[in-house]
Structure 1
Amino acid sequence: MKLLLADDEPLMLQILKAYFHKEGFHTLLAQDGEEALDLFYNNRVDLAVLDWMMPKRSGVEVCREIKKTGRTKVLLLTAKGDQEDEFAALQSGADDYMRKPFDPRILLIRARKLLQLTDKIMLGDLTIDMEGQKIYRGGHDVLATSREFQLMRYLVVNKGQIVTRKMLLDQVWGFDYFGEERTVDTHIRRLREKIGEHRIKTFRGMGYSLVDADE
Structure 2
Amino acid sequence: MKILKVYFEKEGYTVFLAEDGEKALDIFYQEKIDLAVIDWMMPHVSGVSVCKEIKQKGDTKVLMLTAKSEVENELYALNIGADDYVNKPFHPGILLTRAKKLLKDDQSILFDELKIDLQAKKVFKNDVDLNLTKKEMDLISCFIRNRGKILSRENLLMTVWGIDYEGDDRTVDTHIRRLREKIGGELIQTHRGLGYSFVKNK
Q: Which band: TM-score by shorter chain? A: over 0.9
**Deviates further, 115-124 or 203-212:** 115-124
**Paired position in structure 1 for 2:128:** 140
CA distance in 1, matches of 2:9, 2:176: 20
- The RMSD of aligned alpha carbons is 1.4
- Letter paired with 2:192: R
Aligned to 1:121: 109
Structure 2 residue aligned with 1:150, among 138, 159, 173? 138
CA contact (8 A) 1:23 1:154 kept: yes
Asked whether 1:33 is paired with 2:33, we answer no
Give unmatched runs, 5+ long, in structure 2. Answer: none
Give the match for residue 34 of structure 2. Answer: 46
1:42 maps to a residue whose letter is Q
Equivalent residues, number: 202
1:98-149 superposed Cα distances (whole Å, 9 cap, x missing partner) = 1111121111111111111124332221122324322210111122222211
Letter in 1 for 2:184: G
Distance, in Å, in 2 between the alignment partners of 1:177 and 1:130 is 24
Aligned in 2, Cα 1:197/1:213: closer, same or farther, shift over 3 Å? Answer: farther
Distance across 2 between alignment mates of 1:212 and 1:48: 21
Separation in structure 1 between the aligned mates of residue 199 and residue 34 of structure 2, nearest angstrom: 18
Residue 74 (str. 1) matches residue 62 (str. 2): yes
Gaps of 5+ in 1: 1-12
Would you say 1:190 and 2:178 are equivalent positions? Answer: yes
Q: Which amino acid aligns with 2:73?
A: D
Q: What is the 5 A alignment of 1:57-72?
A: 57-72=45-60
- TM-score normalized by the length of structure 1: 0.89
Distance (whole Å) between structure 1 residues aligned to residue 131 and residue 71 of structure 2: 49
Give the counterpart of 2:82 among 90, 94, 110. 94
Report how far residue 32 of structure 1 moved. Answer: 1.2
Q: Which position in structure 1 is the counterpart of 2:10? A: 22
Aligned 8 A contact 2:107 2:118 in 1: yes
Structure 1 distance, partners of 2:111, 2:200, is 7
Provide, for residues 45-64 of structure 1, a one-character-per-residue CA deviation record: whole Å limited to 9, x for no partner: 11110000111111111101
Instruction: Return the letter of the residue paired with 2:162.
Output: G
Question: Is 1:166 the equivalent of 2:154?
Answer: yes
Q: Which amino acid aligns with 2:157?
A: L
Amino acid across the alignment from 2:191: F
Q: Which sits farther off after the overlay, 99-108 or 129-138?
A: 129-138
Percentage of pairs with the same residue: 54
Determine the C-alpha separation between the residues in 2 that align with 1:89 and 1:213: 32
Preserved CA contact (<8 Å) 2:105 2:119: no
Aligned partners of 2:105 and 2:118 also within 8 Å: no
